[in-house]
Amino acid sequence: MSALSDVASREQAARELLAHYVRVVDDPERVHEWPDLFADETEYVVVTRENLERGLPVAVIRDDSKDRILDRVTVIREFWGAGGRLEDRHYNDVRPRHLVGPVWTEPAEDGSVRVTANFGVWLTPSADPTPRLLALGEYRDHVVFTPQGPRFRSKWVILDTAVLQDVFVYPL
């Protein structure tokens, strides 16, 4: 912790965690690294602004434990065949691309950092050269510092896109 006791360096580390996150979720070969970015006690929630504002509990994704986050990788790789042989894949091959920014950071008294950022996710299907805008929204992250480094204590993905423009394989 001592190396990160300075507020500015903690905020910088939180920004780097987000940049690393984007690198991992945009690379189908690296999806197995995605759970490593989360703390042991954690949650990953993708929810439409519509449901959030109405107080409705249904989310697009509600991975409310590290186990559920690890399971998502199992579903992606073993249920859907992602990362395996092309002919074993049971989804239509797309390259996801996140565009993130601006990023705002807000240090908390307890040493953690709140991170918010605008994001858009585009999908480029291999069978169709036209990119698809899948979703637009806002990240609301809570980053804590563990002995292993900065990790997401929670990551909320708030979708402006009340109607998702496609199904999706990789995390938003």
Partner 1 sequence: MATVLPRASGGPPVSLRWPPEDNRIPREIFTDPDLFRWEMDALFTGPVWVLVGHEAEIPQPGDYKTISVGAVPVIVVRGGDGQVQVLVNACAHRGARLVEGPSGNVLRAGFRCIYHMWTYAPDGTLQGVSLPEDFPAEFRREDYGLPRARVATHRGLIFASFHDETPPLPAYLAELTEGLDRVVGDGRLRYLGSVKVVFRTNWKLYVENIYDGYHVTALHTGFQVVRLRSHGGQRLVPNYQRNGHLWGQSRSTRVDELRPVLRDMSLFEVRTKPTTDHNMIVVFPSGVVTDYFDTIQLRYVLPLAVDRTLIEFTFFARSDDPEEVVRHRVRQGPAVLGPAGAITLEDAAALERVQTSSVARGDNVVLKGTPKRFPPYRHVDEAPIRHFYQAYRRLLGVADGAPSQP
Q: By CB under 8 A, name the binding residues for partner 1.
A: 46, 48, 50-51, 54, 56-62, 64-65, 67-68, 70-71, 74-75, 78-81, 90-92, 127-128, 162-169
Question: Residue 104: CB partners within 8 Å, gap ≥ 6?
Answer: 115, 116, 117
CB of 86 to partner 1, least distance (A): 13
CB of 85 to partner 1, least distance (A): 13
Task: Map residue 3 onto helix, strand or coil.
Answer: helix
Both tokens of residue 93?
A: 């091959």
Comparing CB distances to partner 1, the nearer of 37 and 94 is 94
Question: Residue 78: CB partners within 8 Å, gap ≥ 6?
Answer: none
CB of 10 to partner 1, least distance (A): 31
* 10, 142 contact by CB (below 8 A): no
What does the alpha-carbon distance between residue 117 and residue 105 come to, in Å, rounded to a whole number? Answer: 9
What does the alpha-carbon distance between residue 9 and residue 150 come to, in Å, rounded to a whole number? Answer: 11
CB of 153 to partner 1, least distance (A): 19
Distances (CA, A) of 84 to 26, 79, 171, 172: 17, 11, 18, 21
Comparing CB distances to partner 1, the nearer of 150 and 171 is 171
Comparing CB distances to partner 1, the nearer of 90 and 102 is 90
Comparing CB distances to partner 1, the nearer of 68 and 140 is 68
In this structure, what are the phi and psi dihedrals at residue 60, rounded to the nearest 5 degrees? Answer: -65, -45
Comparing CB distances to partner 1, the nearer of 70 and 103 is 70
CB of 143 to partner 1, least distance (A): 24
